[in-house]
A and B are shown apart, each in its own frame.
Chain A
Amino acid sequence: DAGVIQSPRHEVTEMGQEVTLRCKPISGHNSLFWYRQTMMRGLELLIYFNNNVPIDDSGMPEDRFSAKMPNASFSTLKIQPSEPRDSAVYFCASSLPTGYNTEAFFGQGTRLTVV
């Protein structure tokens, strides 16, 4: 398996534009997480899904952020409109089903810069 795949790796956009980050989890994993990493706040959990259903989105900063998981092999994180303070590295991670050691496997991240 290629691991968790995120795209794009880098994104530079202007303030006010819509940004969509994409994630393909490892096949067979049923939990998917979106994290944001900044120097100031460390690694924050934004939202996580189990079996494609959002379970906890309390970490989503505000209404400008939305996440979807239309099927078991794809998830998106959308920011609309984007602001400079959204600049960060966004990580997607996935983990195995119940009963296994449920460590999270991380993608390489998307570095977002909003100017």
Chain B
Amino acid sequence: GEDVEQSLFLSVREGDSSVINCTYTDSSSTYLYWYKQEPGAGLQLLTYIFSNMDMKQDQRLTVLLNKKDKHLSLRIADTQTGDSAIYFCAERGSSASKIIFGSGTRLSIRP
């Protein structure tokens, strides 16, 4: 079945770039998402990419997609303390199918 995997933890120094990686198994994935969860809150969409794209940039966020290796990454430039959260990678095969999430990567920021 479909599976999405992420590393559980990432620690970076404030001001550095953070890179969160994700792999997925469903080769028919059409939509790939990055969500952010702050403590005690629900998940909020950060950005998304369609499977026919290689890269998407949105201010400090850069998403890279390697469809051949089924690898997705999220780069956060100039990481700030407010970026501390859990980041989830998710994939959806089609607009009517289920959305599968990874286990989430907890990003912590060192001063």
Contacts and interface: CB of A to CB of B under 8 A. Distances in A.
Q: Is the interface of A mostly helix, strand, loop or mixed?
A: strand
A55 B83 CA distance: 35
Contact of B95 (A48, A102, A106, A107): A102
A7 to B, nearest CB: 14
B98 A100 contact: no
A42 B98 contact: no
B8 to A, nearest CB: 9
Interface stretch (B13-21, B36-44, B57-65): B36-44
Interface string A8-48: 00000000000000000000000101010000011101001
Contacts of A108: 41-42
Contact of A33 (B41, B88, B99): B99
Interface string A86-106: 000001010101111111111
Nearest to B1: A58
A35 B100 CA distance: 10
Contact of A56 (B92, B95, B98, B104): B98
A76 B100 CA distance: 21
B43 A48 contact: no
B96 A31 contact: yes
Nearest to B2: A45
Contacts of B24: none
Interface in B85-111: 88, 90, 92, 95-96, 98-104
Interface of B: 31, 33, 35, 41-45, 48, 88, 90, 92, 95-96, 98-104
Which 7 A-B residue pairs are closest in the complex by CB-CB distance? A42-B103, A106-B42, A98-B95, A102-B95, A43-B101, A106-B43, A103-B45
Interface of A: 4, 31, 33, 35, 41-43, 45, 48, 50, 55-56, 91, 93, 95, 97-109
16 contacts: A41-B103, A42-B102, A43-B43, A43-B88, A43-B102, A43-B104, A45-B98, A45-B101, A48-B99, A55-B98, A100-B95, A104-B33, A104-B43, A104-B99, A106-B43, A106-B44
